[in-house]
A and B are shown apart, each in its own frame.
Chain A
Amino acid sequence: MKKSILNKIFLISVPLIAVILVICLVIIPKIKSGDNDVENKTETDSGHKIEKMSTNDDSVRSAVDFDHELSKYQPKKDHYNFYFTYKTVHAWWDAVALGMEDAQRQFLDNGIVITYEYVAPNGASAADQIERLNKAVQGNYDVIGVDVADEELISPVINDMIDSGVKVMTFSSSDASADCKRIAYVGNTHNYEDGASLTEELCKKLDYKGKVAILVGSAGAPCHEDRARGARDTLEKYDNMSIVAVEYDMDSVDLAYDLTKKILADTPDLDGIICCNMSNPVGAARAIIEKNSKAVIVGMDHDKEALQYLKDGVIYCLGVQDCYSMGFDTIQVAVMIADGVYPGSLYPEKSEMMTTLIFQQDAGAMLETLYGDISR
């Protein structure tokens, strides 16, 4: 009798204990695994989000090459001293300067000290440039570099310097005249083509009919004059395209602004403006906005404000030059010239630098590439 009671209790207890064990071992881990599910989902979602938000535009980013390495050339000295002068104080030449500084740092890392001056007047002036060059000749420089302010006036000065044994090169935006004795040129060699290409884009946008104005830049500056010439020649190809004004803003944004307002006052139905330097697209865009004009702007270079106007659709097209590479290669070529290595297998007499035409859809990537943040 008593045995049977105990057996019954055992029979009841065992399943109950089993149920409790199941609660302990199954339900509690489930609570835990439920938490994990939520977190995994979060990780998956965030991972997916990161992938969706990443963007890339290699074609635009390759317009300017910031990744340079020195050539295999072994300099003959451990210290070089250069003098560079350019047209005017302007952000465009600051971009060139950054490429030069990169090269200088890389030479320094290799034990080669390079010192240089990189100076310009506040306004483009051939007379000022001649004065600077004459002073530089007196200095102890291995090479003197010139961004020619006016090829007619500066080229003879360069020839005299060469004749007196000074090593002179030209760089960045403007070369000297064809008969100049300068040793080499590192910079834009296709300014005419740049002007022509920009104008071709403008004509196409205007369906090959309309009135356009040209803002040249500094009078006598080869790069600006060449671009303006390319623009004129392109416009002449089309019967329905006409030039209503050609103005020189002397690399001044304010002057470009004033000149554009004047052109718009004279020709309210202006259809387009061709800007041949870095300053005038900005001045032209400001005036166009102010006057609520429908004129289409094409222009040069990478001014941040100009890029923002491109992004906003005020400017139609910009030609961006690889200033960084110009500066980097200028220092490399200057070292070789200083060593008595002249153009040939190691470097050409005129280097080929790229210009990239960019449009509204490219502006964001270009702003990010050059200035880091498109919001500024």
Chain B
Amino acid sequence: MKIKRVTNKTFVLTAAIGSILIMLMVTVNNIWSVQRTQTATNNAVSAVSSFYLEAMADRRAKTITNLISNNFSQMEKALTVFSDEGIENQDQLREMIGTIKYLLSLNRLALVDEDDIVYTQYTTYTGGSRYDFLSEAKLKDRVISTVFLYGSSTQLCLVIPADGLTMMGKSFKACFVQIDVGDIVKLLAFEEQGRTDFAIYSKNGENLSDTKLGSIILEQNILDVTSKVLSDEEWDELQKNFEKEEAGNLTFKQNDTEETLYYVPIPGTGWQMVVLISESIIHEQIRGVSEQNLSFSIRQIAFTVIVLIVFAAILLLMLRRISSVQLQAEKENSRNFMSMANTDSLTGLRNKHAFSEYETSLDKSIRDKAIENVAVVVCDINGLKHVNDTLGHAAGDKLIKDASVMLCEYFSHGAVFRTGGDEFVIVLKGKGFDTRDEVMDEFNRKVESNISTGDVVVSIGCSTLTEGDEQLNDIFKRADKRMYERKKELKAMGAITRDT
């Protein structure tokens, strides 16, 4: 199986593409999430708003029911008081009505006698034409009546029969309280603090509370207005529910304005409590939440992108650094290999291989006539074989090292090469060339003195570039010949040689 090699390029490309894909995925995922959340929220709103409206309508209807119930209960108590007080004239009756009104918190408490004369705290008036519930000679049961007064005032009248109540020589037929629907509206508005629109309607859809319901129905007759925006079926159902005093809900739309309402009957009154919320209000509430989510998502995306960018940048920088270090190491290795190939491990001098490269380079200069002054000094250690044989290779190696040190010391301006076991070559250029004679004299003197002391003895022969030389080897040959001549001289002076 062929295994594809993973290069740095492949790795970086993969990392970059991967990062971009991740960023794209995060972005697309967030956009999708936002859209999906909005859709889901809209669907949820419909369900929740219906539930919310139902609860609102029920609570308001319950408030009115409790109000009615409390008033009936208080009126029953009031009747008991009237029976027990033995009231003899109208002044006493008015005072008593005032006291009971105050004590029992009854609004506009009134008594009605058999002639339909209505007695209140301040007035006594004929009530037959004002109150339909007085049309019957005798009331059989409690009555909840809606009274429409001249001047648009709508009143809720709660009536109880006053059987057996006799005062001032007259029989009384009823006791009632009269509550302005406007006061009921204030009570309901206070309870709900105006969070939703509500209105109270009669069975035929007229607005009894004079409150504004949304932006389509306003203060108008709900059945009249909805007949224009609902289908015939929906409107028939609404009308029937109003007529039969049943609860229900509906949603309607006009000119891009969508409104949802819930209606619930208020038992005994013939009224429908209607609570409405418009789509814009729902969306206003939800928009706040959505905006928060959206804002959070945008921040999340931006943060993720920034983190990924920083992460990618760090990765790339690290890769660059790693690559740089690797490159440096490889260069070093290369230099080391190169150095090892050109260096003599024993003396640390450049070896024969290095000399060959150097020779090649100089040959070109010689051929090109690019160089004029160059000298080659050929060196050979005297008696190395003797030392190896007699004192061992370690002593031989020491002799080589001492010789190399000595050569480097004297020919400090030359390139010193160890080209063989006991052979060295020195190439002199520049200052080394100019001072060759003095240096060689000094060196030879030292060598000669070493013969007597048993120190290192090195035979050297020097030659310079002359007319006709075509390569370094031409100079080398002449220098080598002189070195042998010098070797003979030193032998004559007592120096140890191969032959010794």
* Residues in chain A within 8 A of chain B (CB atoms): 2-3, 5-6, 9-10, 12-13, 16-17, 20-21, 23-25, 27-29, 31-32, 35, 38-39, 41-43, 45-50, 53, 64, 66, 89-91, 93-95, 97-98, 100-101, 104, 108, 113-120, 122, 302, 323-324, 368-376
Contact = CB atoms under 8 A, between A and B. Distances in A.
Given A31-B35, A39-B283, A42-B257, A6 B305 contact: no
Interface in B473-495: none
B20 interface: yes
Interface in B88-139: 90, 94, 116-117, 122-126, 128-130
A28 B290 CA distance: 12
A46 B257 contact: yes
Q: Looking at A42, A91, A371, A373, which has the most chain B CB atoms within 10 Å of its CB?
A: A373
Given A13-B20, A20-B23, A42 B122 contact: no
Interface string B1-35: 00000001100110010011001100100110011
B254 interface: yes
A120 B309 CA distance: 95
Nearest to A120: B126
A122 B115 CA distance: 10
A35 B224 CA distance: 32
Contacts of B124: 116-119
A45 B255 contact: yes
B302 interface: yes
Contacts of A118: 123-126
Contacts of A100: 123
Q: Classify chain B's interface size.
A: 35 or more
Contact of B129 (A42, A91, A104, A376): A91
29 contacts: A17-B309, A24-B302, A27-B31, A28-B301, A32-B291, A35-B38, A42-B256, A43-B280, A46-B256, A46-B257, A46-B278, A49-B254, A64-B151, A66-B151, A91-B150, A95-B151, A97-B125, A97-B130, A118-B123, A302-B150, A324-B150, A368-B152, A370-B152, A371-B150, A372-B148, A372-B153, A372-B206, A374-B221, A376-B202
A116 B122 contact: yes
A20 B27 contact: yes
Contacts of A370: 150-152
Given A17-B309, A31-B31, A108-B122, A49 B216 contact: yes
B54 interface: no
Given A20-B305, A31-B34, A39-B280, A45 B256 contact: yes
Contacts of A375: 204-206, 221, 223-224
A6 B294 contact: no
B122 A376 contact: no
Contact of A2 (B30, B94, B323): B323
Nearest 5 Cβ contacts at the A-B interface? A372-B152, A373-B206, A118-B125, A95-B150, A46-B215
Interface in B308-332: 309, 312, 316, 319-320, 323, 327
- Mostly, the A contact residues are helix
Given A28-B294, A28-B298, A9 B125 contact: no
B8 A2 contact: yes
A157 B20 CA distance: 108
A43 to B, nearest CB: 6
Given A31-B34, A39-B283, A95-B151, 13 more contacts: A6-B12, A9-B13, A28-B30, A28-B298, A39-B287, A47-B215, A49-B215, A66-B151, A104-B122, A119-B125, A372-B208, A374-B221, A375-B221
B279 interface: yes
Given A113-B122, A118-B124, A324-B151, A17 B255 contact: no
Contacts of B202: 376
Interface string B196-222: 000000101111101000011010110
B149 interface: yes
Interface of B: 8-9, 12-13, 16, 19-20, 23-24, 27, 30-31, 34-35, 38, 90, 94, 116-117, 122-126, 128-130, 148-154, 202, 204-208, 210, 215-216, 218, 220-221, 223-224, 254-257, 278-280, 283-284, 287, 290-291, 294, 297-298, 301-302, 305, 309, 312, 316, 319-320, 323, 327
A45 B130 contact: no
Given A49-B257, A114-B122, A117-B123, A89 B128 contact: yes
Given A39-B287, A43-B280, A116 B123 contact: yes
Contacts of A25: 298, 302
B24 A20 contact: yes
Contacts of B152: 368-372
Contacts of A46: 215-216, 255-257, 278, 280
A69 to B, nearest CB: 16
Contacts of B8: 2, 5
